[in-house]
Structure 1
Amino acid sequence: MYKEFMQWALSSDDSWAGLILRLTLGLVLFPHVAQKLFGWFNGPGLRGEMQYMTTKAGLPVWLAVAAITVECVGAFLLLTGTGTRFAAAGIFCLFIGMILVVHAPNGFFMNWFGKVPSGAEGFEYHLLVLGICIVIMIQGGGKYAIDKLLQ
């Protein structure tokens, strides 16, 4: 049963849709990863992100480390098409957590025009990520996914 599951998990059709969705999500996540890890694009860097997640978001250290790891590794896996369904599932769970822990109290809309003084963001972006993850989990990584070589 494990072998059949892994064959399915690493399977992928040869579609452009899977390729486009995984690259889109991976490329959108990459700047956020760079902000969190390296402080690029005016980001907090790893120390600042850990401080935010453990104080403001109230996560225990182990969960903050897990969340950062899932996002960082997941973005890389999506870009390469390696373990694509696993990466999408991890990112899906991560974004459900983001909605529940941080963004749900702020409502649906992002703070596009800076009208919310606190800078609080809603969860509309997160719903888009969830939709992309669902399609990737169903369809696989598409064209040029390394998953195909791992079967």
Structure 2
Amino acid sequence: MKTLTVPDETPVFPLRWVVATNDEAAPLVIRLMLALVLFPHGAQKLFGWFGGYGFDGTMQYFTETVNLPYLLALSIILIEFLSPFLLVAGLFTRVVGVLISLLFTGIILTAHVAIGFFMNWNGSQPGEGYEYHLLIVAMAVSLLISGGGKLSLDSKLAK
């Protein structure tokens, strides 16, 4: 594969669009808040922290109750656990944005859309609505559009 070059013949990272970003603060804030919100959910699924079922329990639920293929179930756990670390570092932010938006769109469509929009604040619904998940999708798509922004490793790789 031929390496792309800029007019002065300097080699360019072949997938530069993956790390392309600017020096704005808004993506930094979104990255950090999204990482903060996602980390406990990934830790629940992988380690059983914060009242979760851990890896074995989560895999059993995904593969036996929800009937997901093993690799898809594993991918869900890994995306939710590893994404916060990549977001904090601002590394491959656009890829993480794609993965999170796809994951949470799937969660909305398969588990929450039938319940409705609103969270189950008073316990009268059979589960949670999708408003939280929709905010996660919006944050992830925003990062897909903007990149990692200020203080991201993406900005270092893009140079």
* Structures share fold, TM-score greater than 0.5: yes
Match of 1:6 among 8, 15, 29: 15
Match of 1:88 among 88, 97, 107: 97
Alignment of 1:43-58 (within 5 A): 43-58=52-67
Structure having the higher helix fraction is 1
Match of 1:129 among 136, 148, 154: 136
Match of 2:45 among 36, 46, 65: 36
Q: Post-superposition shift, 1:2?
A: 8.5
Q: Post-superposition shift, 1:65?
A: 0.8
Provide the TM-score with structure 2 as the length reference: 0.86
After superposition, give the CA deviation of every residue in 1:41-74 in whole Å (9 maximum; x if it has no partner): 1111111111221233221111101111222222
Q: Post-superposition shift, 1:115?
A: 2.2
Structure (1 or 2) with the larger CA radius of gyration: 2
- Alignment partners' CA distance in 2, 1:147 and 1:121: 35
- Alignment partners' CA distance in 2, 1:147 and 1:58: 37
After superposition, give the CA deviation of every residue in 1:78-129 in whole Å (9 maximum; x if it has no partner): 111000000011000101111111111221112123223x4x1111111101
- Alignment partners' CA distance in 1, 2:53 and 2:44: 6
Over 3 Å off, 4+ runs: 1-5
Counterpart of 2:130 in structure 1: which amino acid? F
Counterpart of 1:53 in structure 2: which amino acid? F
Provide the TM-score with structure 1 as the length reference: 0.90
- Alignment partners' CA distance in 2, 1:75 and 1:100: 23
RMSD over equivalenced CA pairs, Å:
1.8
SS of equivalent to 1:66? helix
Unaligned runs of 5+ in 1: none
Unaligned runs of 5+ in 2: 5-12
| Identity between Structure 1 and Structure 2 (%) | 46
